[in-house]
Amino acid sequence: MIGRRIARKVHRESRGACRGLKYTVTAMELLIMKRTVLLAAVLVAATLGFAQSQTSGSSELPPQGPLMGRIGPASVWHMPSTFLVAAQKACDSAPRPPGFADCFISQMPKSGAPPAAVAFTRMLFKQSGGDVGIMSGFDKVGPVDVAFVTYPLRANTNYGLLFVNGTPKIVNAENLKLLDQSTMQQSPQFQNTKAQFPNVSVWPGDRDGTTWPNSSTNPDGSLSFTLGYPLINGCHACARAGFAEFNWNFGPQGKFLGTSFMGLTPPPVQ
């Protein structure tokens, strides 16, 4: 029985480096030792299991905030006329960048921006590498949707357009590196335009949020959006040489497949 001292002794003899040394352990002590070893094993197993669960859970954190699902009209926010002045005043002493931009975004809720709008701006800020954009319009098309964005801190081109909810989640339509400019530059149309405007190149479109891109759905379920981009002869204030039109192509499940050159519109009449 536990608690009763047991007279019988268990004799063990240690061999090896301590040959000849004898020690005795009572049955009670032996029971306590076994329980101690068992408890230690349980603790080690529990610790390893907890550590393993912590490691696997931290490798891929789920997206946080209101944008865990599809981006939608809840992310739209129209800035009040007093917001820019108030935000710049509040963040004037913040370091630039990224402190000023982070402070600027933090002022949005104070001026009435809904949580989804703030979350979208923060996600775009990280995805774009530091561009502060506020969604000003949303058009549900499916499986890829369209969002107009205002960039209040830019000196030029304060409006842009994004394709959202496909793969990747956000595709910036003003990323000129994604345009099929190689095909454009080899076209006779562009060669004729370049003869008249030697420094002509494609520039981002200044999307004012009033004209949505034309979209077309193909028989296989894939989707295309047609957008025009200004051709400018060297600088932002230089002569305009017409527009280049490109299709933005997405698969049936919304995967971005690239762009294709569609043609040029003639330069404006001088």
Q: pLDDT tens digits for 24-39?
A: 445 445 444 555 544 4
Does the pLDDT value for residue 94 go beyond 60?
Answer: yes
Strand segments, DSSP code E, in the chain are 9-13, 22-26, 134-139, 145-150, 159-164, 170-172, 200-202, 214-217, 223-233, 240-250, 256-265
At residue 249 the predicted structure's pLDDT band, cuts being 50, 70 and 90, is very high
Query: Quick one: average pLDDT of 4-26?
Result: 41
pLDDT of residue 224: 97
pLDDT, tens only, 205-224:
878 778 899 999 999 999 99
Mean pLDDT of the chain: 80
Query: Quick one: average pLDDT of 226-254?
Result: 95
Residue 54: Cβ within 10 Å count:
9
Percent of the chain with pLDDT over 90: 60
**pTM for the complete prediction?**
0.72
Q: What are the sequence ranges of the domains in the chain?
A: 9-58, 66-77+114-265
d(CA 127, CA 137): 19
According to DSSP, residue 169 is labeled S
Cβ contact 165:143 at 8 Å: yes
Query: Quick one: average pLDDT of 233-237?
Result: 91
Cβ contact 103:93 at 8 Å: no
Most confident of 16-20, 25-29, 96-100: 96-100
pLDDT, tens only, 60-89:
333 333 444 789 999 999 999 999 999 999
pLDDT of residue 207: 83
Residue 195 CA to chain centroid, in angstroms?
A: 41
From the DSSP assignment, how many helices (H) and strands (E) are in the chain?
6, 11
SS3 of residue 138 by DSSP = strand
When mean pLDDT is compared across 16-20, 27-31, 54-58, 135-139, the lowest value belongs to 54-58
d(CA 260, CA 144): 17
Place of tokens 């049955």: 27
Q: Which residue type does 160 have?
A: G
Residue 120 φ then ψ, to 5°: -65, -45
3-state DSSP percent of the chain in helix, strand and coil, to 5? 35, 25, 40
Residue 25 CA to chain centroid, in angstroms?
A: 65
According to DSSP, residue 67 is labeled G
